[in-house]
Amino acid sequence: MEIWRLPISASQRGKLISAGYTSLSSLSSISSSDLARELNVSESEAMNILKVASHSRGSETSNASCSIVEGAQSAWDMLHDEESLMHITTSSADLDNILGGGIHCKEVTEIGGVPGIGKTQLGIQIAVNVQIPNDFGGLGGKAIYIDTEGSFMVERAFQIAEACIEDMSEYNRFLRKDFQECKIKMQPQDILENIFYFRICSYTEQIALINYLDKFLSEHKDVKVIVVDSVTFHFRQDFDDMALRTRVLSGMALKLMNLAKRFSLAVVLLNQVTTKHTEASFQLALALV
């Protein structure tokens, strides 16, 4: 029975099996309107089922050429890719040293701390620093800022953007003093324009947004960082089913890792800490780890 392998909803699967379609080959010769009539579903759903089935069937019969599976990379290629990946600087030399050059692309970085230590400021700084143009050693990309707590302040972001531009023009003056001084054309307003801001008020909105980001990123290919301020904020209170909470959070983490890998961007998660009571002592630990 191969139908259970298809990524379709449980009700569609149940209808397929009760109508007698148990293997992928039985779906090969039917048209979408006939299938819609037999299963009592809409035609677009039937077309979706047929598309998914033909995709899985096609991947079975294709011959593997140089790579074993589609999309696999050899370790040698990955080593060279890693060496050429750029980092996002955090504007602090010590922090960059610990992170190995800065925030890495294609990776998810989690930053946790006690309230008031500066996590949101670091998040805003990263959202500004990703826009440093390539000439100055940055990525020249846009940023997505997902705010769950409401702690993003536009005035502060404006100050940070101004300071960043001042930094760049000083660097420019220092390094290119022999050449004609070229002015920095960026203004703080441009930097703020390149930050896409989402405000989340509940956990359902958070889950919906993570699912929507796939489509958003295919349209805006120059986004290079996603900053999620307090990824666990909405999950800490008023959640009845603990097992569901763990499942949802781990599913969300996997989706973010998938986005980071596919679109070559960096994901920065800011998290709170709690005190854990282990071995008769109190330790700080990241929330919901």
Partner 1 sequence: MEWNCWKMLKGINMSFLLEFKGLICCSEMGPSSSGKTQVCLRTASNVARNHMVLYLDTGNSFSPQRIAYFLGKTISPSSAQAKNQFLQKVMSNISCHSVFDIFAMFDVLHQLESYLRCQDGRGGFQMRLLIVDSISSLISPVLGSSSTLGRALMTSAGYLLKKLAHQHNLAVLIINHTVGGEGGSSKPALGDSWKCIPHSRLFLSCDRGSNTYNVSILRHPSMASGKAARFVI
Contacting positions for partner 1 (CB under 8 A): 4-7, 10, 56, 59-64, 67-76, 78-79, 82, 106-108, 243-244, 246-247, 250-251, 254-255, 257-258, 260-261
Cβ atoms < 10 Å from Cβ of 249: 17
Q: Under DSSP, is residue 282 helix (H, G, I), strand (E, B) or coil?
A: strand
Contact, 263 vs 141, CB < 8 A? no
State the nearest-atom distance from the C-beta of 29 to partner 1, in Å: 21
Residue 123: closest CA among 88, 74, 93: 88
Of the two residues 4 and 239, which places its CB atom closer to partner 1 in the complex? Answer: 4
C-alpha–C-alpha distance, residues 3 and 56, integer Å: 10
Beta strand ranges found along 186-231 (DSSP E): 195-199, 223-229
State the nearest-atom distance from the C-beta of 39 to partner 1, in Å: 19
Q: Please return the burial class of 207, using the count of CB atoms within 10 Å of its CB with bins 0-12, 13-18 and 19+.
A: middle
DSSP-assigned beta bridge partners for residue 270? 111, 229
State the nearest-atom distance from the C-beta of 3 to partner 1, in Å: 12
C-alpha–C-alpha distance, residues 212 and 206, integer Å: 10
Of the two residues 156 and 255, which places its CB atom closer to partner 1 in the complex? Answer: 255
State the nearest-atom distance from the C-beta of 258 to partner 1, in Å: 4
| Residue bearing tokens 């959640």 | 239
Of the two residues 10 and 93, which places its CB atom closer to partner 1 in the complex? Answer: 10
Of the two residues 73 and 189, which places its CB atom closer to partner 1 in the complex? Answer: 73
Of the two residues 82 and 193, which places its CB atom closer to partner 1 in the complex? Answer: 82
Of the two residues 62 and 237, which places its CB atom closer to partner 1 in the complex? Answer: 62
State the nearest-atom distance from the C-beta of 243 to partner 1, in Å: 5
C-alpha–C-alpha distance, residues 201 and 75, integer Å: 42
State the nearest-atom distance from the C-beta of 231 to partner 1, in Å: 16
Q: What is the largest CA-CA distance in the chain?
A: 79
Q: Report which secondary-structure segment, H or E, holds 100.
A: none
